A and B are shown apart, each in its own frame.
Chain A
C-alpha cells in the first residue's frame, strides 16, 4: 500500500522512478552548472594562480641568483683589493730596496770623492815639499859653494879671486859629492 503510494508520489512529482535514468532537466541544469564552474574556476581563476605560482618560483630563483651574483661580486672586489694591497706592498718593498741601493751608491761615491780629494791634497803637499826641497837644495848648493871656497881660500892662503875658475872648481866638487851620494844610495838600496 505504502509502496504504491510512494510510486504515486514519485510519479506525481515528475520523477522517473528508475534512478539509473537521468532527468532531462537535470542534465541541462548540470551542464550549465559545470560550464559555469569550468569557465569561472577553470578558465579564469586557475590560470591566475598558475601565473602567480610561476612568478613566485621565478622570484625565489631570481632572488637566489641575485644573492649569488652579489656574493660573486663581493668576492671579486675582495680579490681586487687583495691584489692591490699585494701590489702596494711589493711597490713599497721595491722602493725601499731602491732607496737602499741609492744610499749605498751615494755613500760609495762620496767616499771615492773624499779619497780622491785626499789623494789630491797629499799629492799637492808632496809636490810642494819637493819644490821646497829643490829650492832648499839650490840655495844650499850656492851657500855651500861660497862657504867651501872661502874656507879653502883661508886654508890655502891664497885668494881665489878668479870667479870663473872658482865656480868651475865648486861645480866639479859638487858633482863629485852628488856622485858619491848616488853611489851610497845604490849600495844602501
Chain B
C-alpha cells in the first residue's frame, strides 16, 4: 500500500496535492527484504522484458527474418542509423551492443510509467538513472585516455586550438567543469527529472480527478474533476512521448560522449 493511498484514506477534508511521498515505496509485503520494493520489481521486470524480447528476436537469427526478428531488426537499425553511425562514425557498429542495451533498457523502464498496475517510471528513482550514466561516464573517461592519452585528453578538452590566448582563461575552466564534473550529473539528472516530473504531473491530475469526482463530489468541483480526468489522459499520452524521447536523448548523449572520446577532433 502506497503512501498516497494512505493519505487518501486519512487526508481529511482538504484536497492534498501529491508530493514526493508518491515515490516512496516500502518492501512489497510485510517482512519482505527491504530492497524488494515496487521500483526494484519494475526494474527486474524491465530486465526480463528487454532480455526476453531480444532473446526471442535475436537468439536464432535467420538470414530471412520472420516475426519478432523483424521488429528487433527495426530497433537495431534505428539505434544504428540514428545514433551509432551519425555520432560515433564508421566504428559505431562496434558500440551497438552497449547502445542497444542502454536504449532499450531505459526505454522499457521509462514506459513502465504508463503500464497499468506498474505506473512508475523506474528512473524517477535517481539511482536507476545514475547507474547507466555512471557506466557511460566511466566508459567515456577510459576511452578518452586510451585513445588520446591522459595529457592529450585534457589538452584537447581544455585547449582546443585556434582561439585567442586570453579566451583560454575563461574557456578552460568551463570546459573542465562541464566535461568532467557536470556531465555525469546532467546526464543522469536529465533522465531522472523528466521521469520524476512526468510521474508527478500525472499523479497530480489523477488525484484531482479522483478527489473531485469520487471523494468529494460537488456540482462546482465536478468540472474540475472532469478537467483533471481529461488532463490525466492527455498527460499520459504526452508522457509516453517524453519517456521515449528521454531514452533516446540519454542514448544519444552516451553515443556522443563515446564518439567524442574516440574522435576528439570533431
Binding site for B on A (CB under 8 A): 1-3, 5-7, 9-10, 12-15, 17-23, 25-31, 33-34, 36-38, 40-43, 45-53, 55-56, 59
Contacts and interface: CB of A to CB of B under 8 A. Distances in A.
B57 interface: yes
Interface of B: 3, 6-7, 10-12, 16, 19-21, 23-27, 34-35, 39-40, 43-44, 46-47, 50-51, 54-55, 57-59, 61-63, 69, 72-73, 76, 93, 96-98, 100-101, 104-105, 124-128, 130-132, 135, 189, 192, 196
Contacts of A9: 3, 6, 21, 24
Contact of A37 (B25, B105, B189): B105
B179 to A, nearest CB: 22
A36 B108 CA distance: 15
B126 A19 contact: yes
A1, A26, A48, A56, most chain B CB atoms within 10 A: A26
A18 B104 CA distance: 28
Prevailing SS type, chain A contact patch: helix
A20 B40 contact: no
B16 A2 contact: yes
A45 B58 contact: yes
8 contacts: A1-B12, A2-B10, A10-B21, A27-B131, A29-B43, A29-B44, A33-B47, A50-B96
A155 B51 CA distance: 167
Contact of A22 (B25, B54, B126): B126
B100 A30 contact: no
A38 B3 CA distance: 34
Given A1-B12, A29-B127, A34-B105, 14 more contacts: A2-B12, A9-B24, A19-B196, A20-B126, A22-B126, A23-B125, A30-B131, A34-B101, A38-B98, A41-B51, A45-B55, A45-B58, A49-B58, A56-B63
